């Protein structure tokens, strides 16, 4: 069977070029006579892999020198706890609730201190980003938290909130490396890599070093979740997710070859425009997000008829379009069109949607 067009929200499509390179190196990585899967994380070969990965990520994102880059085990859901464990030193934080993952992050933080929910779009099923230009943020919060791109609901913060001088912490799992970003606007920017960067099981945390200089907020913070210890040990305190980091490193090089983050932005905007333009014209399919807050990574849409939605998902799968079923909390459909999704994949999806609409109207 040939490759399908994989619209999964995560784990998600990876660049074919990267997968082929990894396959070529599976049994013998650069003359070592072993796979990276078998390699000691203390070896010279692996030391080069992880150092190059960090250097390439710093270059791509133009990460300032006073920020630490940490590769850790676990996905973004583990970072929901790591954030308060490391940063909640006054015992209070502000959360902006724009979807399921921000809700879960807030619930996790409530185990460690007081959480003030300063804005939410729950009233309209998270179909928009609330106005965050003048929020009522208490003076004594340690940080303001957002999920910058909402995978399930297909919304995106195109303008960062006014944090009133407080540190901004952002989960960027589903928009990681999709466009240029000014890291200096954040205290912490982090993501699980399985949507846009690599295989599941790796989290990348980029944190300004002064925020962790004195160690975590709680003395009982597990060593594995202590960002200072992890940073001081260059992500090698223990055996890291070696193979996942190796794949991430290959993806970083692929993005550089594609024109860096400016190139990725142009590529992603072109794909999103093709799909959104069709949704705006279609009489059957409708997008579910207000136009100004639309994600260019995750595009949810519906027909308005649950049976027709199910028929579309089934026929699309038979035609080679995988993982278009919407999240269980939303229903309908969702096309995740991350960096590695080729423009051809979106064009062919729209062709199929036009055909389906003609046959079912």
φ, ψ dihedrals at 266, nearest 5°: -60, -45
Can you read off the two tokens belonging to residue 305? 């008829």
pLDDT under 50: residue ranges of the chain? none
pLDDT tens, 162-216? Answer: 999 999 999 999 999 999 999 999 999 999 999 999 999 999 999 999 999 999 9
Alpha helices in 25-99 (DSSP H): 44-61, 76-87
Residue 127 to residue 118: CA distance in whole angstroms:
17
Given this model, what pLDDT does residue 1 score? 58
Given this model, what pLDDT does residue 239 score? 95
Residue 150 to residue 101: CA distance in whole angstroms:
8
pLDDT tens, 267-310? Answer: 999 999 999 999 999 999 999 999 999 999 999 999 999 999 99
Residue 142 to residue 211: CA distance in whole angstroms:
10
What DSSP character marks residue 143?
Answer: E
CA distances from 356 to 20, 186, 278 (A): 34, 44, 13
Q: Which domains occur in the chain, in start order? A: 17-257 (3.40.640.10), 260-360 (3.90.1150.10)
3-state class (DSSP) for residue 157:
coil
Residue 249 to residue 255: CA distance in whole angstroms:
10
> Which of 56, 68, 92, 101 is flagged as catalytic?
101
Given this model, what pLDDT does residue 2 score? 80
Can you read off the two tokens belonging to residue 39? 């390699």
> Which of 68, 92, 195, 271 is flagged as catalytic?
195
Tokens 């308060």, residue located = 84
Catalytic-residue membership of 227? no
pTM of the full structure: 0.96
Nearest by Cα to 327 from 350, 349, 346, 302: 302
Catalytic-residue membership of 140? no
Strand pairing class (286-287; 298-302): antiparallel
Residue 346 to residue 348: CA distance in whole angstroms:
5
Catalytic-residue membership of 195? yes
> Which of 142, 171, 226, 309 is flagged as catalytic?
171
């Amino acid at each position: 069977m040939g490759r399908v067009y994989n619209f999964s929200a995560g784990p998600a499509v990876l660049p074919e070029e990267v997968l082929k390179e990894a396959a070529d190196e599976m049994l013998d990585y650069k003359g070592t006579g072993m796979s990276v899967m078998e390699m000691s994380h203390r070896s010279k070969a692996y030391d080069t892999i992880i150092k190059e990965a960090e250097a390439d990520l710093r270059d791509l994102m133009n990460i300032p020198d006073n920020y630490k880059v940490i590769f850790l085990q676990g996905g973004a859901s583990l970072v929901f706890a790591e954030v308060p464990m490391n940063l909640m030193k006054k015992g209070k934080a502000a959360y902006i609730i724009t979807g399921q993952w921000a809700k879960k992050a807030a619930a996790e933080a409530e185990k460690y201190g007081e959480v003030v929910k300063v804005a939410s779009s729950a009233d309209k099923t998270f179909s928009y980003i609330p106005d965050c230009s003048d929020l009522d943020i208490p003076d004594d919060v340690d940080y303001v938290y957002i999920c910058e791109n909402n995978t399930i609901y297909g919304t995106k913060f195109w303008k960062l909130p006014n944090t009133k001088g407080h540190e901004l912490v952002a989960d960027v799992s589903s928009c990681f490396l999709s466009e240029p970003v000014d890291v200096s606007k954040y205290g912490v920017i982090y993501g699980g890599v399985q949507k846009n960067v690599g295989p599941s099981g790796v989290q990348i945390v980029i944190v300004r070093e002064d925020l962790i200089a004195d160690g975590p907020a709680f003395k009982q913070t597990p060593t594995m979740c202590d960002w200072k210890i992890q940073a001081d040990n260059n992500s090698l305190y223990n055996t890291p997710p070696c193979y996942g980091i190796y794949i991430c490193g290959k993806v970083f090089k692929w993005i550089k070859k594609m024109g860096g983050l400016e190139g990725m932005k142009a590529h992603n905007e072109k794909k999103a425009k093709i799909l959104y333009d069709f949704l705006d014209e279609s009489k059957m399919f409708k997008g579910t997000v207000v136009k100004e807050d639309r994600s260019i990574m995750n595009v949810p849409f519906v027909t308005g008829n649950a049976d027709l939605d199910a028929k579309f998902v089934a026929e699309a799968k038979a035609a080679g379009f995988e993982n278009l079923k919407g999240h269980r909390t939303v229903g309908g459909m969702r096309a995740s069109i991350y960096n590695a999704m080729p423009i051809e994949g979106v064009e062919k999806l729209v062709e199929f949607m036009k055909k389906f609409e003609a046959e079912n109207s």
